[in-house]
Amino acid sequence: MKAVEKMNDDKGIKKVSVVMCEDYERTRVERSVRRAIDLLGGIGAFVSPGQKVLVKFNLLQGAAPEKCVTTHPEVVYAVAKVLKEHGCDVLLGDSPGSGIPYTEANLRKAYAASGFDRVARELGVRLNYDVGYHDVPAPDSKTMKQFPIINPVLDCDTVVVVSKVKTHASLFISAATKNIFGVIPGLEKPSYHVRLQDPYSFAQMLLDLNDVVKPRLQIVDAVFGMEGDGPFAGDPRKIGAILASGDHNAIDVVVCRLIAVEPVQSPIIAAAIERGYLQEDLSDVSVIGDNLDRLIVRDFKRPATYKTSQDIRRDPSNPFAKIFALASEYVLRPVIHEDLCVTCLKCVQSCPVKTISVVDNKPVIDYTKCIRCYCCHEMCDSKAISLEHNEVAGHELARLTGT
């Protein structure tokens, strides 16, 4: 994998192109993708003919495109076609989400369900089935000193990320920066949730991982996004745009604006500002192309966790320790609904701290060990897990605080 620098202008301005796209009709998507890239100087500003390029989409787990769980295959088709016509050797791939073994069988199943196998056949490009990975040193990382990274990333000259706009239970948004977590093989992912339980720390890790992989170009599928309790259990919502940039931080700022989220409320953007990757007032992010204000979805539904404090203090010497402890208990927790549960046990497999056991053939959560990472909620495709407050703790918290 060859190192490349982020594409900024001479004044450090990070350009993000925004192009309207009404639906996923192939000709319309391709036209919008091409224009978004051309506004940034064309595909030649990012890759060269003959380069081996991994198009890394958002897979999570196999799901029909209309569910908005994955990047839409028509957007992947358009990006891959542009790269192929430029003379690049194109490879498509990703690693599924937490708790899903990174095997060829699981990749084939997920690719088929999401429509990526069809894209590969129609374009005559390859899908990745290599399930190997290697530890890559990260000496400058603030969180990890090495990362296990899937082979296609390491075997390619560069990576083009094609992500999906979705809400996220702990990070609030999932788009370009978060998408890079897919280069960590499936069963390796849960350990990161154990080690980095605070969303801000997890966001710092994502920045480190992006610094290691150094994606060359970012394309964001914002034709339809996922609102509500994403990144899996939310609902599709039309936005009507394709975004492009050479900078994952900048494009995520614009994603926040598109769905009417103040960017600094995202742990990812806050961490990027703290590192100096973005200016505090975000004045180094420039939007070009179509009018952003006309595309903003001002009532985009937030995840249930959006108003929950993600910075609960647990210092026992603090005079408000009891209140903080109760507040921690009041934080939204996953609740399994037996009437909807199909006993697939993906929640058991995805839990990084193994706090979900099977009792009488049904999964049961031990809340004394639950770290509120919401991996079980993320991976439940029957929508049998909701995020709810502990009302007993809530009533006691209200009593102590007089609210």
**Do 220 and 288 share a domain, yes or no?**
yes
**Do 261 and 334 share a domain, yes or no?**
no
**Do 211 and 333 share a domain, yes or no?**
no
What are 259's two structure tokens?
């769905």
Q: What is the pLDDT of residue 392?
A: 64
211 belongs to a structural domain:
yes
**Do 229 and 266 share a domain, yes or no?**
yes
Q: What is the pLDDT of residue 60?
A: 87
> Residue 371 sits in a domain of what CATH number?
3.30.70.20
Specify which residues 93 forms β-bridges with: 56
4 belongs to a structural domain:
no
Contact in structure between 29 and 244 (CB atoms under 8 Å)? no
d(CA 318, CA 393): 19
Q: What is the pLDDT of residue 311?
A: 40
**Do 274 and 376 share a domain, yes or no?**
no
**Do 253 and 329 share a domain, yes or no?**
no
Write out the chain's pLDDT in tens, 403 residues: 443 334 455 579 999 999 999 999 999 999 999 999 999 999 999 999 999 999 999 998 889 999 999 999 999 999 999 999 999 999 999 998 877 889 999 999 999 999 999 999 999 999 999 999 999 999 999 999 899 999 999 999 999 999 999 999 889 999 999 999 999 998 888 888 888 888 999 999 999 999 999 999 999 999 999 999 999 899 999 999 999 999 999 999 999 999 999 999 999 999 999 999 999 999 999 999 999 999 999 999 999 887 543 443 344 444 444 544 545 555 678 999 999 999 999 999 989 889 999 999 999 999 888 888 888 988 898 899 998 877 665 555 455 444 4
Q: What is the pLDDT of residue 373?
A: 85
301 belongs to a structural domain:
no
Look up the domain containing 53 and give its range.
14-294
- Kindly give, in sequence order, each residue whose CB lies less than 8 Å from that of residue 397, ignoring residues fewer than 6 positions away: 323, 326, 327, 330, 403
**Do 264 and 123 share a domain, yes or no?**
yes
**Do 290 and 364 share a domain, yes or no?**
no
CA–CA distances in Å: residue 361 to residues 66, 202, 337, 342, 343: 32, 33, 14, 10, 7
**Do 183 and 255 share a domain, yes or no?**
yes
How many domains does the chain fold into? 2
> Residue 254 sits in a domain of what CATH number?
3.40.50.11440
Domain boundary at 294, 313, 329, which?
294
**Do 274 and 395 share a domain, yes or no?**
no
Q: What is the pLDDT of residue 323?
A: 46
Q: What is the pLDDT of residue 365?
A: 94
Rounded to the nearest 10 degrees, what angle do helices 26-38 and 73-85 cross at? 50
Q: How many helices (H) and strands (E) does the chain have?
A: 14, 15
